[in-house]
Chain A
Amino acid sequence: MMALIVSNLPALQVALPIIAAPFCLILGRGAWAWALATIVSFVTFAISLALFASVYDGSIISYHMGGWAPPIGIEYRVDIVNAFVLLIVSGVAALVLPYAYRSVADEIPADRQPIFYTAFLLCVAGLLGVTITGDAFNVFVFLEISSLSTYALVASGAWRNKRALTASYNYLIMGTVGATFFVIGIGMLYMITGTLNMADLAVRIADHGDSSTLHMGFVFILIGIGLKLAMFPLHLWLPNAYSFAPSAVTAFLAATATKVAVYVMLRFMFTVLGFDFEFQADTLKLVVFPLAVAAMFAASLVAIFQDDLKRMLAYSSIAQIGYILLGLAFLTHTGLLASIVHLFNHAVTKGALFMVAGCFVLSTGTSSISSLRGVGRDMPWTAAAFVAGGFSLIGLPLTVGFISKWYLVQAALELGWWPVALLIMASSLLAIIYVWRVVEAVYLQPAPEGITRKEAPLSMLVPAWILVGLSIWFGVSASLTTTAASRAADALIGQSQILWQE
């Protein structure tokens, strides 16, 4: 029995939440649905831990769905890169669900809660599926499973603010356009190679060599995924979706959805198309690189002028995605390492910060920064969590943000790209400004008269503080994350067929 479970872990990773999802609906009561979803999320987290442990040494698990051998059958392929991402997704899910109980009870009517948890589990399953699968078309299918459930989740914020509906609608339109672009890109690759298995694709593309169809395929995939991961300037759906979605959803999405999209991009760029695909390298340097820098500054600047805490954090997310893309665009081992490590670091940081924002929403009823004046006295733990998360966002030492910045700057300096190193630092100064606006409001401004705000409940504080704790822990002792990221970067670079010169 045990052996059966162990050998089928990759399938269970995705199948479990998918199968559990309808049961949430059947259970019919919010609390029960929540309990089921939470248990499932814990189990999926355990599974991804097991998977991560077994591939940490660099081995690869190849699981054949239904016993059909690849490249005909669908293959689930776990290596260090996606095991790392699986860990992020399932880990954040396992933290967000306990958090969600109170937050969702506050923001969503009781009779709709089972549906909410169903959608949530589907979203988790979709994201895990995207990450684990080794089949290009399967990526699209899971991407749409997660996206469709995300649209529904965002729209469920309408009970708090009706603008969630339009936010979700716009997200749907842009997301679907992105997914369709992505599918066109896959079609182009299929046209060249006649296969959809990613490992097989990589070999055949290397054999096939350069062609304009390949260029088109790459561009379609880049734009499609760019829409999903909110690459500047394709980010327009993100701020509204994040600000109006229920707090628990925002925390989950900010920490996982864009990260998974980044993973897909990494996978297609480096595993499938190859690290040394010249057209891709040019595109990265000439298009993605400037856009990443623009995102770092433009989005941070916009964040400074937001009055809504969640919206501010959303814009900050766009800027942080800029850092991740910047690391990619360096096209070096260190750069890639920085990107992957920032994937994790930003997930932890932003997850924590959005959870804190959710705590504020629960207590003050609004997420506007001006309503947070003097809240540090009434909600000391929540406020302290925000400060710690904010430090990480800025990239101060002893937080994870510092680790990412360190590697990013190191990557820039290795290439001798001076101005870029300074630009990275300059943009993190903008982060100081927007984080500090909140810190000042929370601690140094007098609270409005006659308002008392209750500290957030423990079920919300504990998950938020676990994430904050992680962001400090992995900032103080980053060996585990950086080693994993370094191996992942090796795997991505090494999988391209042609030798990469150091």
Chain B
Amino acid sequence: MTDANALLLALAIPTVTMFLIAASGSRPNIRDGISVAASVATFAVVLRLLESVMDGARPSVTLIEVMPGLVINFAIEPLGMLFATVASGLWIVTAIYSIGYMRGAHEKKQTRFYICFALAIASALAIAFSGNLFTLFIFYEVLTISTYPLVAHKETPEARSGARVYLGILMTTSILFLLVAVIWTWNIAGTMEFRAGGILEGKIDPAYAPFLLAFFAFGIGKAALMPFHRWLPAAMVAPTPVSALLHAVAVVKAGVFTMLKVGTYIFGVGFLSKTGASDWLMWIAAASILIASIVALTKDDLKARLAYSTVSQLSYITLGMALANQMGVIGGSMHIVTHAVGKITLFMCAGAIYVAAHKTKVSELDGLGRKMPVTFICFTIAALSIIGLPPFAGAWSKWYLLLAAADEGQMALIAVLMLSSLLNVAYLLSISGRAFFAPARDRMAHSLDAAAAPSKGIEEAPLFCLIPICLTALGCVVVFFAVGGLYEYLLSIPILPEAAP
């Protein structure tokens, strides 16, 4: 199997899975089995690709010419490979988890759910592998559309209005700003290929560069840069596996991944730092980090709190791009991995809590840690990773981002990063604290059902939910120790134009 074929295969598996799932809709066990098997197969193919990419291969496939000069092209480079690995790897975990969750929570229309889920993964992979801006934009939109039914899954009025906000903001930003930016780029550069060192240098008047960057930065609504972040909390009406995989990994990471791609391969890091076009973006990102963290503190709904935490963490990556140096890109890319592992654990814990105890509010979690020890231990590990304490994964990405900020001599940004970590402690560890140490409330007042049920020692979520959580929590630790390899790998992201030595 050549690399190019492997690339197509990686995209084809989730696409074909859609049809298989649709065909086996009436037999839930086969359907769920297919979904898990497909995720494993996809991951295997992606790993196989990762190996070649690490050996220096750069496979590229051109599918069709949509308009004269505009082709759908897939080409793999290290950054995209990283995103693909994360997305497809965590798909396995989520596929297993959703079986437990969807059955445990008795959700309806599960077939539609799995179909859209597979489509979302397929488009996330297509985004990761896209070889030019045009392809990326197309699948960016496909991802938006395919996740809409997932967000609206419950079909309640709240789900409908949440989905409306979700679609509205993502569509508005992408059509109003991103598409204009894409066409603008095409107009001035005459190409949309992702090229090391960027394609815009010498083509665009440096005075306009900040404006074009602004169109990109706000147009990539999936990166949830403030003030276009509202869709992320709104999307929390979705079932938890959706929040976990899509709104902690695939969709939001597709956003920041696009941001990094644009920064390194369209503008070029050198061009950005030379012209200072991204200076303003640094401050917007910094503000986003702080404001979102503070808002997260005020949220009582567990998923909403995690959502705002995501908004804040995503801006770290945007910040990494805006810093426009190699450390920034490395720190940002690494944060894609570390935050993905951490946040998916947190969301899956939130889901497990909902399935096992039907709790969604932070204030209701008092004493729950003793009933669900595994869940809450994993929650704490992931929280520590997000906060950035060693020996957990998040420590490294924050470290490199700090280095990047120091490289630029931005002391204020260092302060922001520090402050934000403190805020993380406040809004994440307080949850674990309540769960483990606060005395259980008198539950009579809350629910008669719960009081009527005999109180057992341990009331964990189904095993299908628990195993994935443990796996990803373990991942938080593993990534910390495997960081050397990751760092080496990220160094291979081409920053300079190819002509330069």
Chain A residues within CB distance 8 Å of chain B: 391, 395-398, 403, 405-406, 409-410, 413-414, 421-422, 425-426, 428-429, 432, 436, 440, 443-446, 475-479, 482-483, 486
Inter-subunit contact B176/A436 (CB<8 Å): no
Q: Within 8 Å CB of B180, what residues of A?
A: 409, 413, 421-422, 425
Q: Is B24 an interface residue (CB 8 A)?
A: no
Residue on A nearest B140 in the bound complex, by CB: A397
Q: Is B67 an interface residue (CB 8 A)?
A: yes
Inter-subunit contact B176/A425 (CB<8 Å): yes
**Minimum Cβ distance to chain B for residue A137 (Å):** 38
Residue on B nearest A413 in the bound complex, by CB: B187
Q: Other CB < 8 Å A-B pairs besides A395-B175, A414-B187, 5 of them?
A: A398-B142, A403-B66, A409-B180, A425-B179, A436-B164
Inter-subunit contact A398/B138 (CB<8 Å): yes
Residue on B nearest A407 in the bound complex, by CB: B67
Assess A426 versus B176: contact at CB under 8 Å? Given A396-B141, A413-B183, A414-B187. yes
Inter-subunit contact B145/A479 (CB<8 Å): no
Q: Is B327 an interface residue (CB 8 A)?
A: no
**Minimum Cβ distance to chain A for residue B290 (Å):** 30
**Minimum Cβ distance to chain B for residue A381 (Å):** 14
Chain B residues within CB distance 8 Å of chain A: 64-68, 137-138, 141-142, 145, 149, 152, 155, 159-160, 163-164, 167-168, 171-172, 175-176, 179-180, 183-184, 186-187
Inter-subunit contact B183/A406 (CB<8 Å): yes
Q: Within 8 Å CB of B179, what residues of A?
A: 405-406, 409, 425
Inter-subunit contact B66/A476 (CB<8 Å): yes
Q: Within 8 Å CB of A395, what residues of B?
A: 175
Q: Within 8 Å CB of A476, what residues of B?
A: 64, 66
Inter-subunit contact B67/A406 (CB<8 Å): yes
* Residue among B67, B137, B141, B184 with the highest chain A CB neighbour number at 10 A: B67
**What CA separation (Å) do A73 and B164 show in the bound complex?**
60
Residue on A nearest B176 in the bound complex, by CB: A425
Inter-subunit contact B176/A429 (CB<8 Å): yes
**Minimum Cβ distance to chain B for residue A369 (Å):** 15
Assess A410 versus B187: contact at CB under 8 Å? Given A397-B138, A425-B176. yes
Number of residue pairs across A and B with beta carbons under 8 Å? 72
**What CA separation (Å) do A436 and B160 show in the bound complex?**
11
Q: Which among A410, A426, A475 is the interface contact of B183 at CB below 8 angstroms?
A: A410
Assess A477 versus B66: contact at CB under 8 Å? Given A422-B180, A425-B179, A429-B176. yes
Q: Which among A397, A445, A479 is the interface contact of B68 at CB below 8 angstroms?
A: A479
**What CA separation (Å) do A409 and B187 show in the bound complex?**
10
Q: Within 8 Å CB of B167, what residues of A?
A: 432, 436
Q: Within 8 Å CB of B64, what residues of A?
A: 476-477
**What CA separation (Å) do A56 and B373 show in the bound complex?**
73
- Complex A-B, nearest 9 residue pairs according to Cβ-Cβ distance, in ascending order: A397-B138, A425-B176, A409-B183, A397-B141, A413-B187, A478-B67, A444-B155, A425-B175, A410-B183
Q: Which among A397, A410, A426, A440 is the interface contact of B137 at CB below 8 angstroms?
A: A397
**Minimum Cβ distance to chain A for residue B324 (Å):** 26
Name 16 interchain pairs, CB-CB below 8 A, sorted by A.
A397-B138, A406-B67, A406-B179, A410-B187, A413-B180, A413-B187, A414-B187, A421-B180, A425-B176, A429-B172, A436-B167, A440-B164, A444-B155, A445-B155, A476-B66, A479-B65
**What CA separation (Å) do A428 and B180 show in the bound complex?**
13
Q: Within 8 Å CB of B152, what residues of A?
A: 444
**Minimum Cβ distance to chain A for residue B363 (Å):** 31
Residue on B nearest A334 in the bound complex, by CB: B187
Q: Within 8 Å CB of A421, what residues of B?
A: 180, 183
Assess A444 versus B65: contact at CB under 8 Å? Given A391-B145, A429-B175. no
Residue on A nearest B179 in the bound complex, by CB: A425
**What CA separation (Å) do A443 and B142 show in the bound complex?**
19
Inter-subunit contact B67/A413 (CB<8 Å): no
**Minimum Cβ distance to chain B for residue A56 (Å):** 16
**What CA separation (Å) do A409 and B183 show in the bound complex?**
7
**Minimum Cβ distance to chain A for residue B325 (Å):** 31
Q: Within 8 Å CB of A428, what residues of B?
A: 175
Q: Within 8 Å CB of A440, what residues of B?
A: 160, 164
**What CA separation (Å) do A391 and B164 show in the bound complex?**
16
**What CA separation (Å) do A409 and B177 show in the bound complex?**
12
Q: Within 8 Å CB of A425, what residues of B?
A: 175-176, 179-180
Q: Within 8 Å CB of A422, what residues of B?
A: 176, 180
Residue on A nearest B137 in the bound complex, by CB: A397
Q: Which among A413, A426, A443 is the interface contact of B184 at CB below 8 angstroms?
A: A413
Residue on B nearest A477 in the bound complex, by CB: B64
